[in-house]
Structure 1
Amino acid sequence: MALGLYIIGDEILSGKRQDKHFSRVQQLLAARGMQLQWAQYLGDDAQVLHDSLRASFERGDTVLSCGGIGATPDDHTRAAAAAALGLPLELHPEAAALIRQRIVTASLGEPESPANQQRLQMGTFPQGAQIIPNPYNQIPGFFIREHYFVPGFPVMAWPMIEWVLDTRLQHLQRPAGYLERGLIVQGAMESELTPLMLRIEREHAQVKVYSLPSVDDAQWGRHIEIGVKGEPQCVQPAFDALRQGLIELGAKLRTETVRSI
């Protein structure tokens, strides 16, 4: 099971608005010992949204999705999710009650006015979906099949994502977090180190090996940061094997790096 993130909206892809969700979601996850396996930016295109959602539903991924759940013509996310699952859209009774309550408390006019009937469309979700509470204005998001849909407004989206992480996804939290240990290697080429990296991943399947080359670093010049990351108890033996392998290759080892991620 992979943890992914969709950030949806033409305004992000066109540059009219700068995305703030990616870095904030990373922070929220890191505080809980979690991390993303993938992230995608998607425009407000019904077919693209349908195809992307159908793929992540079929993979069984756990997905956070920001944006596109309003009630204007360019908001296709709710319908795309329903179509990807082969389900109808339904007005969720609890969502409808919350939206009607918002109409009254915010003095938005007669509940039966065309504008307020349009607002009710924000409570139509794929059949069987459940709501995500919205502490900002009470108009909820929704979740279904481990996909969690929140608005694009950060002031709403971020507390809603925190609710998801601390209730629905609490079992994925890792208090100890992930550990990353690496070495700066000067003068080497990635192609020379690839057989060693493959061997470490084969012999230590619980960790991932990473390689970050640089050609013009002010301190180290051309170098590669190579290391392993994973559960803390699995990292040390894999790192020791990697370090020994680099020594045997005659690599120029410099400083070590350690990060909690």
Structure 2
Amino acid sequence: MSHKGQQKIRLIIIGDEILSGRRQDKHFAKLVELLSQRGLQLGGAQIVSDDQDDVAAVLERSFATPDIVFCCGGIGATPDDQTRQAAARALGVELRLHPEAAQLIAERCADNARNGQGSADMSVPENQQRLQMGMFPVGADIVPNPFNKIPGFFINNHTFMPGFPVMAWPMMEWTLDTRYQSLHHQVRRVEHSFLAFNLPESRITPAMERLEQVWPGIKAFSLPSVGESGGQPYIDLGVKGDPDQAVQALDYLRQQVLDLGGSLTPVQK
């Protein structure tokens, strides 16, 4: 699902607080984890400001793709929450109060009232404001939120969730296991790597290029370390892709390191 022209799984993180550093993103690592557990992989990620023009432009481009996209942030009801409006604008549709969302928000208000917080009367200004969180682009479906019942929404393969991990992560899991269960473990792939010492990347690169020609189901990768903290420089070399081809490709790459004068263990000084 990550090849050019095919459907990818992507993440869009929305929020000025991430760009300013007031908060650190946690969604990227969690989505990678959830996808890996299901035999899937992330194909791209992007961080966008809260500005409605910015979000609408990003979503317009995103809706034009066949990709599966998870969008975190900006679906509250304060002035800086512009994701719902931007999504409707990008799709060229209106925002409308979703009846299921309205019911769930009313249930949440009733729960709060039983706990001595606020009123269950949906006509009071506070609850009317809360209903704005159920205003979704026409044609959207709800995404259940087990934390506080206030749902996200789904439209055109895009799942919109709050920025709070405690809400977003269960919504990610529900979406993956409900809407995209048929994609789980559809492609068998593995990743293997080893450390190579005393070898510049430029010397091993031709072998990596040949590897991908001989084993077309495999991608080779190289992650160099320059000897941070006084350690010895090395290259984390590896292969990923088809399990059957990976074993042969990895053996080839190891042998190439040795043939080219490198070593598989640190050189003693």
Contact 1:32 1:177 in 2 (8 A): no
How far apart are residue 209 of structure 1 and its match? 1.6
1:96 — aligned with what?
102
How far apart are residue 185 of structure 1 and its match? 2.0
1:47–1:251 Cα change, 3 Å: farther
* Distance across 1 between alignment mates of 2:89 and 2:212: 39
Moved more, 33-42 or 199-208: 199-208
1:140 — aligned with what?
151
AA aligned opposite 2:145 = N
The answer to whether 1:84 aligns with 2:94 is: no
* Distance across 1 between alignment mates of 2:253 and 2:40: 25
How far apart are residue 243 of structure 1 and its match? 3.5
Q: Which runs of 4+ in 1 moved over 6 A?
A: none
2:47 — aligned with what?
41
Contact 2:106 2:122 in 1 (8 A): yes
2:263 — aligned with what?
253
* Distance across 1 between alignment mates of 2:18 and 2:228: 31
Listed one character per residue, the Cα deviations across residues 147-179 of structure 1 (whole Å, up to 9, x for unaligned) are 111111111111111111111121222289642
1:105–1:233 Cα change, 3 Å: same
Between the aligned residues of both structures, percent identity stands at 51
Aligned residue runs from structure 1 range 1-261, under 5 A: 1-107=7-113, 108-109=118-119, 110-174=121-185, 178-216=189-227, 221-248=232-259, 250-254=260-264
Which structure dedicates a bigger proportion of its chain to strand?
A: 1
* Distance across 2 between alignment mates of 1:53 and 1:101: 31
TM-score, normalising length from structure 2? Answer: 0.85
Q: Which runs of 5+ in 1 are unaligned?
A: 256-261
Listed one character per residue, the Cα deviations across residues 166-206 of structure 1 (whole Å, up to 9, x for unaligned) are 11121222289642112322232223332322232334332
1:27–1:117 Cα change, 3 Å: same
* Distance across 1 between alignment mates of 2:232 and 2:243: 30
Listed one character per residue, the Cα deviations across residues 60-99 of structure 1 (whole Å, up to 9, x for unaligned) are 2111111111111111111212222222222211111211
State the superposition RMSD in angstroms. 2.3
AA aligned opposite 2:62 = S
Tell me which of the two structures has the higher relative contact order, counting C-alpha pairs closer than 8 angstroms and 6 or more residues apart.
1
TM-score, normalising length from structure 1? Answer: 0.87
* Distance across 1 between alignment mates of 2:187 and 2:66: 25
Contact 2:104 2:150 in 1 (8 A): yes
* Distance across 2 between alignment mates of 1:145 and 1:234: 36
1:90–1:238 Cα change, 3 Å: farther
Listed one character per residue, the Cα deviations across residues 195-226 of structure 1 (whole Å, up to 9, x for unaligned) are 32223233433222211011105797122121
How far apart are residue 53 of structure 1 and its match? 1.7
1:259 — aligned with what?
none
Contact 1:186 1:251 in 2 (8 A): no
AA aligned opposite 1:253 = S
2:4 — aligned with what?
none
AA aligned opposite 1:254 = L
1:217–1:105 Cα change, 3 Å: closer
AA aligned opposite 2:168 = A
Listed one character per residue, the Cα deviations across residues 97-122 of structure 1 (whole Å, up to 9, x for unaligned) are 21122222222322112221221111
How many corresponding residue pairs? 254
1:169–1:219 Cα change, 3 Å: farther
